[in-house]
Amino acid sequence: MTDMLAPLLHVDSSADREESVSRQLGALFVAEWRRGGGTVRHRDVSAEPVPPLRAGYARLGRRVERKGVLSLADIATLIADDEERREWDLTLPLVTEVLAARTVLLAVPMYNFGVPATLKAWIDRITFPGVFVDPATGRKLLAVKDFVVVNARGGAYGPGTPRAGFDFQESYLRVYLEDKGVSPDRLTFVSAELTRVGDIPALDGLEDLAASSLSAARSRLLALANP
């Protein structure tokens, strides 16, 4: 992390408002960030879901792709009807938030081995053709940003565990973000595992491992928020 005075975009996606570990860990990072003087923009895609894509998004996206990489202003000039206008009006503020951020914090629970549908809807909408590429130079605009992904998992999915191959949470986000231009050395994953210990009988006896994982995640996030 660098430049703490630059803005942070914090995206929450857990449906659980009371006991969510991803929300708790995200809030810890944010509190430390603010103590360092940084500013924060918070978007909760569970509380305010991003609408799924409609036909106007696809039509406008195809028209833009045929033209090549365009500026946001030039994209707006290609809008052909009210539905396309509605889709662009839903998309542009989300894209602008990402572009304005110096660091992006994604707080992500594992749902059914992957990411929540609410986060996927946000990802789908911000992935409009060319918006993260500089039209003048071809440079990928996300390459200069830091991304911190907080993963919370009810079980254990780390390397060597029986369910390591079931992890489509971190693997998906890593491939997606790097494909969009995020530099691997500026992409950090922090995972808290076994968060459902105490709820699921099959996890009984793993309390110490769960506590250790949570403690390590907290320490890592505090270090990231205080470079």
Domain positions in the chain: 8-225
Query: What is d(CA 48, CA 57) in angstroms, rounded to the nearest whole number?
Result: 20
Q: How is residue 148 written in tokens? A: 């911190």
State the pLDDT confidence band at 4, using cuts at 50, 70 and 90.
very low
Cβ burial of 162 (10 Å; 0-12, 13-18, 19+) is exposed
Task: Give the pLDDT confidence score for residue 227 in this predicted structure.
Answer: 66
Q: Left if phi > 0, otherwise alpha if psi is -120 to 50, otherwise beta: which for 37?
A: left
State the pLDDT confidence band at 10, using cuts at 50, 70 and 90.
very high
**What is the topology classification, in CATH, of domain 8-225?**
Rossmann fold (3.40.50)
Q: How is residue 114 written in tokens? A: 């992957």
Q: Is 193 helix (H, G, I), strand (E, B) or coil?
A: coil
| Better-predicted residue by pLDDT, 2 or 111 | 111
Q: Is 190 helix (H, G, I), strand (E, B) or coil?
A: strand
DSSP codes, 121-159:
HHHHHH--TTTTB-TTT--BGGGGSEEEEEEE-SS--ST
Taking only the tens place, the pLDDT of each residue in 40-67 is 999 999 999 999 999 999 999 999 999 9
Is residue 6 scored above 70 in pLDDT? Answer: no
User: How far does Cα 205 stand from its chain's mean position?
Assistant: 32
> Strand 103-109 relative to strand 8-12: parallel, antiparallel, unpaired?
parallel
Helix axes 117-126 and 82-100, enclosed angle (nearest 10): 100
* Mean pLDDT (whole number) for 76-104: 98
Taking only the tens place, the pLDDT of each residue in 108-154 is 999 999 999 999 999 999 999 999 999 999 999 999 999 999 999 99
State the pLDDT confidence band at 205, using cuts at 50, 70 and 90.
confident
* pTM for this model (two decimals): 0.93
